[in-house]
Amino acid sequence: MEETLDFLTSNKSRMKQIGLETVPTKGAVTKFRKRLGTEFNRILGLLIAYIHDCMNFESLDRFHVVLFTKCYFGNPRFPRMSKEMNSQKFIPCDKKIHRTATKWAGFNLMLYVLYGLGFVNILEDLKVEKRSKCVYTPLQISLAYIVKMILGFKNAYCLDEELEDDVFLQMICTLDGDRTPSKSTLDDDIRRYKAEELQKAYRTIIQWMRILGFVTGATVACDSTKMRVDGLTYEGAEEVFDYQKKENVRGYKLFVIYDVVYRIPIYFEVRGINDADAPPLKEMVKKAKQITGTSIKRLYIDRGFYDEANFLWLDDKEHIEYVTRGKQGTKLFEQAAELGDAEFRVLVLKTKEYEPKTAQGKVAKEKREGDKKPVRIAECTCSFSTGTPVRVVVEKKRTRLSKNDKLRLLLAKLSGSYTAQEVVELYKKEYGEVFSNSKKPTITIAKTLTKIPEVVAVGNGRGRKYKIEAYKADIKVLDGNEKEEMFIWLTNVFSASPEQIIEDYGIRWLIETLFAEAKGEWYINKLPSRNLEAIKVHFYFSFIAYDIVNIFKRALTEKYRNAGIEVLRRDILHKIAVICFNGRSLKFEFNRKYELRSVLIKLS
């Protein structure tokens, strides 16, 4: 508080911008906070929301000078002596001003979230095991990992190289001089953390974000993603057969409950990749509610958690609205298939898209709207084994015939025994295309035939034949190269229209984008250790960094609020600038590379 008041005293223009004629005393601020009591957090949240609405960083180049607040740089870690300046790669331009350069100048905007909203204070309170001959504090290691995740360094080697050359990143990680953590240091230090401590810190962060209005946990989705590893020494990793790669793979499975409105991961668990070891949905929902401190109103469930017991518990015990996709072969799917054509309505479903700002975006959206095809929708009320009613929404839509569909239609016309090569030739003759572009299409089609129960393989080796008798494809072919496919949704929401249920379920896809971005751009699948405890710590740091970026995006223009991290790195974070330090304050000056070059020539 004292540092904030000192900053206002030395910056009269900032003081007038927030409506203060004179700087209040510390005692007056303390009395004001006590008088507000529990209302203080609410008012603080409204103030921060107002500040975010006023911030606009669409064109970062026009911010030629960016001042760091004294509450961050007024600490003893920052170098002040000229000798320390030289060791920090600061170039003395005159007796008072020293300069250096950075290519990550845009990261200073992230400090408003990292330091201004108190994330650093939460990380600083972590209890970490002490390690002998360790010169780095837990906060230094925590910040180093968060910087690594946000800036997209795949491993500690890349971070080590970047810290060695960039003084600004060293200051962010609160590192002194040229003593930057090496890869071995970071990998050893992450083992000092306990997943239980990070879990407490993450819970505190989520609760603080809820107070600030950045997350509610009212509308969530539950899903999982696989993390494959190489080797047999990863603790807790399990093996499962991958039907896509046609081989056994080892790894982990990450189960997540995700706020699809605010795009924040609330709770996660790490298990073996074996599907049988999935955590109970009931326990995940209970723990998510404990973290946010609020009740869940609606839950979008992935079919991996498809279980009648889960649906009954959500409806009867927790009174949570749920929506999930139904499975083929179940009793409810068979009942929905009996609906007559007269019970279906034809309509075009809407999709929730952002409004494009450019002419090119508007044309692309119009094209997508024009390509949409009408679907047939119906609904019926069924019941579980206990008699509890469940609403079944049915959708029938036109989809293109896949190569497997065409193969099944071909098999329905055949009778007798055929080799794989003969089936390949018949397929090409029937449809005028090859079944597979692989070097050995007969092996590909043979693997497909073995998965069809009605097709019996006779013999071994090259003489193996496949016996086909009275095969039924059960595919309703429409005009052209299309078929009609049926999908069902199960829900306990009876107030919304059937099409609204289907459209709302589309928001569940945001958790799939989380997994894709986390593995492709955040590199959370690049595990720093083979120890399960360290892997869990790695995931916690990754999601903390993800939350920080999501809060930061709320302060940006609409163009960047739904942008991925790669776009933010390219357009905002990766900015070359000259840092000027005069002993008291720090300034960022953009587009100064030519002037700096002339200064270096004079000094040489």
According to the model, what pLDDT value does residue 159 have?
Answer: 80
The answer to whether residues 298 and 323 touch, using CB atoms and an 8 Å cutoff, is yes
Q: Please, which pLDDT band fits residue 116 given cuts at 50, 70 and 90? A: confident
Structure tokens at 166: 């960039």
Give the C-alpha separation, 169 to 175, whole Å. 9
According to the model, what pLDDT value does residue 61 have?
Answer: 34
Among 558, 57, 513, residue whose Cα is nearest residue 263: 513
According to the model, what pLDDT value does residue 594 have?
Answer: 42
Of residues 168 and 77, more confidently modeled: 168
Give the C-alpha separation, 324 to 327, whole Å. 10
Q: Indicate the burial class of 300 (C-beta count within 10 angstroms; 0-12, 13-18, 19 or more).
A: buried
According to the model, what pLDDT value does residue 522 have?
Answer: 92
- Condensed to tens digits (0 to 9), the pLDDT of residues 538-552 reads 999 999 999 999 988
Of residues 7 and 124, more confidently modeled: 124
Tell me the Cα Rg of the chain: 30
- Condensed to tens digits (0 to 9), the pLDDT of residues 49-104 reads 555 555 444 443 333 223 333 333 434 433 333 344 344 555 555 556 677 788 88
Q: Is 395 helix (H, G, I), strand (E, B) or coil?
A: strand
Q: Note the maximum CA span of the chain.
A: 95
Q: Does residue 335 register a pLDDT over 90?
A: yes
- The bridge status of strand 298-301 relative to strand 219-229 is parallel
Q: Does residue 17 register a pLDDT over 70?
A: no
Averaged over 305-316, what is the pLDDT?
Answer: 92
Give the C-alpha separation, 460 to 437, whole Å. 25
According to the model, what pLDDT value does residue 357 have?
Answer: 61
- Condensed to tens digits (0 to 9), the pLDDT of residues 372-400 reads 888 999 999 999 999 999 999 999 998 88
Q: Please, which pLDDT band fits residue 233 given cuts at 50, 70 and 90? A: confident
Length of the chain: 604
Of residues 569 and 15, more confidently modeled: 569
According to the model, what pLDDT value does residue 218 have?
Answer: 94
- Condensed to tens digits (0 to 9), the pLDDT of residues 178-187 reads 455 555 566 6
According to the model, what pLDDT value does residue 414 have?
Answer: 92
Averaged over 285-303, what is the pLDDT?
Answer: 92
Of residues 151 and 8, more confidently modeled: 151
Structure tokens at 7: 């900053």
Among 84, 69, 73, 71, residue whose Cα is nearest residue 179: 84
The answer to whether residues 512 and 484 touch, using CB atoms and an 8 Å cutoff, is no
Averaged over 270-277, what is the pLDDT?
Answer: 79
Averaged over 263-269, what is the pLDDT?
Answer: 95
Q: Please, which pLDDT band fits residue 246 given cuts at 50, 70 and 90? A: low
Taking CA atoms, 68 is separated from 75, 112, 312, 391, 549, in Å, by 12, 9, 54, 56, 19
- The bridge status of strand 298-301 relative to strand 321-325 is parallel
Q: Does residue 323 register a pLDDT over 90?
A: yes
According to the model, what pLDDT value does residue 387 have?
Answer: 92
- Condensed to tens digits (0 to 9), the pLDDT of residues 573-592 reads 988 888 777 666 667 777 55
483-498: b or e for each residue (b if 16 or more CB lie within 10 Å)? beebbbbbbbeeebeb
According to the model, what pLDDT value does residue 102 have?
Answer: 84
Give the C-alpha separation, 155 to 528, whole Å. 8
Instruction: Outline where 115-239 has alpha helix (H).
Output: 119-124, 138-151, 156-165, 167-172, 183-189, 195-212
Of residues 199 and 476, more confidently modeled: 199
According to the model, what pLDDT value does residue 37 have?
Answer: 67
Weakest mean pLDDT among 57-71, 91-105, 310-324, 347-361: 57-71
Of residues 151 and 1, more confidently modeled: 151
- Condensed to tens digits (0 to 9), the pLDDT of residues 488-522 reads 999 999 999 999 999 999 899 999 999 999 999 99
- Domains (range + CATH), the chain: 66-195+542-603 (no CATH), 402-474 (1.10.10.10)
Average pLDDT, the chain: 80
Of residues 479 and 484, more confidently modeled: 484
According to the model, what pLDDT value does residue 224 have?
Answer: 92
